[in-house]
Amino acid sequence: MPHSDSRFSVLSEGFATDPYRHFGRLRQGAPVHYEPAIDSYFLSRHDDVKRVLTDHEAFTTETLQVRAEPVMRGPVLAQMTGAEHTAKRKIVVRAFTGAALQDQMRAVHANAADLLAPFLARGRIDLVNDFGKPLAVHVTLDVLGLDRKDWRQVAAWHSGVAEFITSLALTPERRRHCLDCAEQLEAYLVPVIEQRRRHPGDDLISKLCTAEFDGVAMSNREVTALIINVLAAATEPADKTLALLFKHLIDHPEQLTEVRRDLGLLPAAIAETLRYTPPVQLIPRQAKESAVFAGTAVPAGATVFCMIGAANRDPGAFAAPDTFDIHRPDLGTARSFTAAAQHMAFGTGLHQCVGAAFARAEIDTVAAMLLPLLDEVRYSPGFRYRETGLYTRGPVSLSLDFAPVHAFSPDRRPHVGPGVLPA
Ligand code: HEM
């Protein structure tokens, strides 16, 4: 029988306020927690999560047909398997790695400088709402080849799409709103797709339009789904990670001083941020056959949620897991952004994040620009830190004060840590 503890629910307010407080108890007492209201199982141990994400035969992504496809307007990468998955994943990977990455980081740096400029003389910025969120959307629109002036509209549609995917329970009204957002986003994208078919450029949409799978070009529906897939996957986790990185460094001033002195430590600080507070907290799968975890059976067909935040704090995988330590020897910076990562912030196995190298370079570039500018950075007076989200989780805002900067002429060449960009 599953551990269904009627006194505890991952849907409770107490859990939503601070899930990290409950992870230890879940891993020890209820590593297979059953949530009757949504008929789903929650796994919290590192080994169990790894098993689910790497045993693709036993745990499928079929659940995404109802969890994602209605708002993606077609099948997403995570639903695909075999040759189709390999071929389409490769198109997306190529757009975010290798030589393309170098140009993209120049654009990231320029975007970040433009967004930051109006706040410097004031000496105050909300790193989430003034900067991180618009930046992540701008950067993704640039890579896709969409017009940056449309960012507010695209961000509003995107938030409806994201709400659909990341809500564990939706009211019929919210569901309708999310589907409306997805339909409007699709109506905005289809004319762009048709234009890129006629006049392809260097952007990802053009690459998706001109690529062939089994000698056949992808339909508008397939291209739309992959665009929304990238838009949804690339924006939220990146802006949350940047804000969380700054929060952890401000909370650990000695580590902030070290990183300021040596920006080469940034990739280690980003990797530790991803382990300590992964922005993607849940990854869903469906059990093909019944399976046993820690002596508890999960029935065939069940929805299983991998709890990434809990797995990343498992003492079986990391020493002193509740301590933020950019020097921890059991993480390994270089492998933290690859398939060999010990933390599971990017997932693992076949569907591991295609944007890991891009995310590392993006956050490194932006943080290396911000740190020297935000001298004496600290929380604004009266600021109260609050996080939200069960599926994706991050700060609601991060109001920071710093020594005002009156003369700002951004160096157009981004600093990027060693090994971040290709030679
Ligand atoms: C810190 C930033 C990021 C984090 C923490 C993150 C996290 C994740 C996670 C946990 C998964 C696995 C989902 C699963 O197994 O079902 C994933 C998949 C994916 N991510 Fe990311 N992501 C980040 C940035 C990005 C960026 C910048 C892109 C841009 C391309 C991206 C694109 C994707 C795509 C397309 C997938 C699906 C891959 C597949 O199914 O083959 N992500 N990401």
Distance from Cα 126 to the centre of ligand 1, integer Å: 25
Among the residue ranges 26-35, 321-330, 335-344, 400-409, the one predicted with the least confidence is 400-409
CB neighbours of residue 152 within 10 Å: 9
Give the pLDDT confidence of 88-112 residue by residue, as tens digits: 888 888 777 777 788 889 889 999 9
What tokens appear for 102 in the block?
A: 């170098």
Per CATH, the architecture of 13-401 is what?
Answer: Orthogonal Bundle (1.10)
Q: Over the chain, what is the mean pLDDT?
A: 91
Q: What is the DSSP letter of 280?
A: B
Rounded CA gap, 24 and 42, in Å?
14
Q: What is the DSSP letter of 209?
A: H
| Whether pLDDT at 297 is above 50 | yes
Residues 6 or more apart whose CB falls under 8 angstroms from that of 368 comprise 263, 266, 414, 415, 416, 417
Ligand 1 binding residues, C-beta < 6 A:
77-78, 89, 92, 96, 229-230, 233-234, 237-238, 241, 279-280, 283, 345-347, 351, 353-355, 358-359
Distance from Cα 344 to the centre of ligand 1, integer Å: 11
Distance from Cα 68 to the centre of ligand 1, integer Å: 14
Phi, psi angles (nearest 5°) of residue 340: -90, 10
Residue nearest to atom 19 of ligand 1 (CA): 353
Q: What is the pLDDT of residue 389?
A: 94
| Reported confidence tier of residue 4, pLDDT bands at 50, 70, 90 | low
Distance from Cα 409 to the centre of ligand 1, integer Å: 34
Pairing of strands 40-43, 303-307: parallel
Give the pLDDT confidence of 46-84 residue by residue, as tens digits: 999 999 999 999 999 888 777 888 887 777 887 888 888
Counting residues of the chain whose pLDDT is more than 90, the rounded percentage is 72
- 111: nearest Cα among 143, 81, 84: 143
Q: What is the pLDDT of residue 2?
A: 53
| Whether pLDDT at 410 is above 70 | no
Q: What is the pLDDT of residue 418?
A: 47
| Reported confidence tier of residue 356, pLDDT bands at 50, 70, 90 | very high
Residue nearest to atom 1 of ligand 1 (CA): 238
Give the pTM: 0.92
| Whether pLDDT at 127 is above 90 | yes
Distance from Cα 81 to the centre of ligand 1, integer Å: 16
